[in-house]
Structure formats: structure tokens, C-alpha cells
Amino acid sequence: MFNKNIKIILAVLISAFAVYQFVEGEIGNGIFLILLALIFVFLYFRNEMILLAFLSMRKQDFAGTKKWLDKIKNPESALITKQQGYYNYLRGIMASQTNLTEAEKYFKKALKLGLTMDYDLAMAKLSLAGIAMQKRRKREATMLLSEAKKLDKQGMLKDQIKMMQQQMKRI
């Protein structure tokens, strides 16, 4: 909604007004304003449009996910690096439904920019392995699959990895 720089400026201004409220003896107002400033700091690190897109993705609402992602006009300037990674990650998931070449581009860019969670890294590498397997690049698919297996510490992708390994034996 707001540019990342505007969010920080708003947080600083609200914090300054909170300090003024503390000096004036209005402790309750100051505490409320500090909490309000923390919301803007949180939204600096976690973009609200990406959070809403993940919520739509969780509900399997791909049209809603696309709508929220389309609201981010210029991701390079509006998002910090990790958010750009998740933006491309979500775009890759959306593109994997229709266009594998475009999805591969988005997943590679997401991995280059970085993803915070190991599960998301594993999922992106697993998706890239599937794309590489469909394009008959077995060596790359094997490498990506082994990396995804290392990153999947909770074992949430164990079945998908096992199924993909069985499919690679047929190639």
C-alpha cells in the first residue's frame, strides 16, 4: 500500500509524537503510539500485499493471489530484497500452472534474491527440479532434488521428493 520509505518515515514521526506524549505525561497515548509505530515497522519487513497473496494462496484462490500480486506496481523499488524473493516465488507458483519457462525464470530469481524459510527454499528447488525434469535435464533435476531434500528438515515434502525420484528413474 505505502512505499517502504514512507512506512519508515511514518514510524519515525509517530515515535517522535509518542515521545512528546510521554513528556507531556500522557503515558497511555504514548504506549498506543509506540504500538502503532511498530505496525509500520512490521509492514516494512513484511509487505501487506504479499501477506494477503499468501493468504489467498493458502485458500487455493489463484485469482485472488494474482489480484494481490498485481497491486504491487514496481516490486524492485517498493519491496526490500527478501520481499522481492517472495514476490517472485509467488509469481513462479502462479506461472507453473500454465507456463513452465516463465515459472522457471521466477523461481530462479526468487532463489537468487533469497527466501527466509527453508521450506520455501525447498519448495522452490523442488519446483525447479520438476521443470528441469520435464525439459529432460536430468543432471540439473537430480542436483536440485538433493538440495531440496537437504532443506526439507520437517519432512513435509518427503512424499513429493520420493515421487519425483521415482519418475526420474523412468527417464
Q: pLDDT tens-digit profile of 15-66? A: 999 999 999 999 999 999 999 999 999 988 888 899 999 999 999 998 999 9
Residue 1 predicted with pLDDT over 70: no
Q: pLDDT tens-digit profile of 123-143? A: 999 999 999 888 888 888 889
Q: pLDDT tens-digit profile of 144-154? A: 888 988 888 88
- In the chain, the domains with their CATH numbers are 1-45 (no CATH), 47-170 (1.25.40.10)
Dist CA 159 CA 155 (whole Å): 8
Number of H helices, E strands in the chain: 10, 0
- Proportion of the chain above pLDDT 90, given as a percent: 51
- State pTM to two decimals: 0.82
The candidate with the shortest Cα–Cα distance to 129, out of 103, 155, 99, is 103
A 10 A CB-CB count for 143 gives 15
